[in-house]
Structure 1
């Protein structure tokens, strides 16, 4: 027997009481041996404990399986990605060709993904990981804009941007898949990175890729006290990536990136 509170919530949501029908392909909801069970064509497709704290999630799951609501809206996802991308690009310095840091990282990420065997859809996703990786810097830019000590504030809060990016993307579940890259693209292979000190393959795969490409673009386009006092040439950057294998970067991915830059861009070391 369904809990009275669950019956009430179900009637409010769908205008009828929950019931179990297993003779057709329709999605149905049942109460079986103390569990709330969702069936399709008689087969169990999901099972939950009868706990009030989970009722909202169960109803949403049922509605999706029954076709009463759509899965996460791709239009909303695309709109949010576009919104964030536009803000990111607006807050970054353009190069002589009109591209910003995140745009360059995104382009290389997409090309590299194809080079290592990802399909078109996966490569497009990697491009989105690239364009969103520094979304947390929006907050740092706002801090600088309204602060009389801009540079010092940027330096003091630089390590906060992966956490700020995590907060930004948490506002909508359609963007959650990008959070691991946004949060962890400054982790190091040896575990001495930030914000969580992840080590080796604990670091999410996409974050390991973006980490290498982010470094390459930074040192070839910006003078940064984090790395050096002058710009590096593409060849010098690749040589440095090789030196940093096993400490900063995944050694396998680093070697593949070096090979990619040689094969695709003709930059040999």
Structure 2
């Protein structure tokens, strides 16, 4: 049995009991032979002397191995994420209601996740991924700021923004969980996207969702050099998303999205 003080600190840090449901599969923390042990899939990966002064270090080690955050990590993540989101929103064009592209995509993500019946923590997670999906465009904006040919600069470097976003998010490990979405939201279901030519379910799930939401918001709010020379109506955008299912977009997610805009946004589907 783990020491009472360690259990208390664990619950304060992670909001749950230090119970390993299946020792052969997960990361376990336990007391054995007078030591605090950490086991991964039953294999001993670390062992610490049972000293209260070292419990903080033990929990930090456990958190990294288990993919959890300590309270300090959470604060750092929230601070860095908020900083990036503020910069992103400031560099984007506002619509008539004062919202930017990333804000609208984040709102769509939140609504879509709730429509799918996700628990609130997962809804928030997808929303945060949506807010950061275009973080790499900050680099392009900086290039354009000092360029006499701003549009040409944007067109030349547009496909770099997922890679640049990946670089930005390496600033702290608490942001690494957003990298798959940022890097891969322009991949295509048929493997012809960028930057890594991922195909089908090789593309991270959140990135596949954001790809659809990103397209829908982009073509219904401003002229896009990527897609068309005129703004589409929601009906036209949905029709095009259906046409792009299986080439650009995950067909199953397209079906879910079409039902979502019909039921929630009252977009008529022909």
Scaled by the length of structure 2, the TM-score of the pair is 0.79
Q: Which whole-Å deviations, capped at 9, do the CAs of 1:145-198 have from their partners, x for residues lacking one? A: 011111111100000000000000111111111110000000000000000000
Q: Tell me which of 32, 40, 51 is aligned to 2:30.
A: 40
Counterpart residue number, 1:64:
60
Question: Cα gap change, 1:105/1:256 in structure 2, threshold over 3 Å: closer, same or farther?
Answer: same
**Helix, strand or coil: the match of 1:73?**
helix
**Helix, strand or coil: the match of 2:268?**
coil
Contact in 1 for aligned 2:38/2:45 (Cα 8 Å): no
Counterpart residue number, 1:162:
162
Structure of greater Rg: 1
Q: Structure 1 residue 198 and structure 2 residue 212: aligned?
A: no
Q: How does 1:125-140 map to 2 (within 5 A)?
A: 125-140=125-140
Counterpart residue number, 1:98:
98
Counterpart residue number, 2:18:
none
How many residues in Structure 1 have an aligned counterpart in Structure 2?
229
Scaled by the length of structure 1, the TM-score of the pair is 0.79
Q: CA deviation at 1:72?
A: 5.0
Partner Cα distance (1:169, 1:64) in 2: 21
**Helix, strand or coil: the match of 2:264?**
helix
Q: Which whole-Å deviations, capped at 9, do the CAs of 1:57-79 have from their partners, x for residues lacking one? A: xx996352589x94552121111
Counterpart residue number, 1:235:
235
Contact in 1 for aligned 2:38/2:62 (Cα 8 Å): no
| Ranges in structure 2 where 5+ consecutive residues have no aligned partner | 7-27, 47-54, 64-68
Q: How does 1:73-222 map to 2 (within 5 A)?
A: 73-222=73-222
Structure 1 residue ranges (4+ consecutive) displaced by more than 6 angstroms after TM superposition: none
**Helix, strand or coil: the match of 1:40?**
strand
Contact in 2 for aligned 1:216/1:237 (Cα 8 Å): yes
**Helix, strand or coil: the match of 1:45?**
strand
Q: Which whole-Å deviations, capped at 9, do the CAs of 1:77-105 have from their partners, x for residues lacking one? A: 11111100100000000000000000000
Give me the CA root mean square deviation.
2.5
Counterpart residue number, 1:223:
223
Counterpart residue number, 2:24:
none
Partner Cα distance (1:250, 1:23) in 2: 46
Counterpart residue number, 1:56:
none
Counterpart residue number, 1:249:
249
**Helix, strand or coil: the match of 1:257?**
helix
Partner Cα distance (1:232, 1:73) in 2: 42
Question: Cα gap change, 1:231/1:61 in structure 2, threshold over 3 Å: closer, same or farther?
Answer: same
Counterpart residue number, 1:262:
262
Partner Cα distance (1:23, 1:76) in 2: 29
Contact in 1 for aligned 2:2/2:30 (Cα 8 Å): no
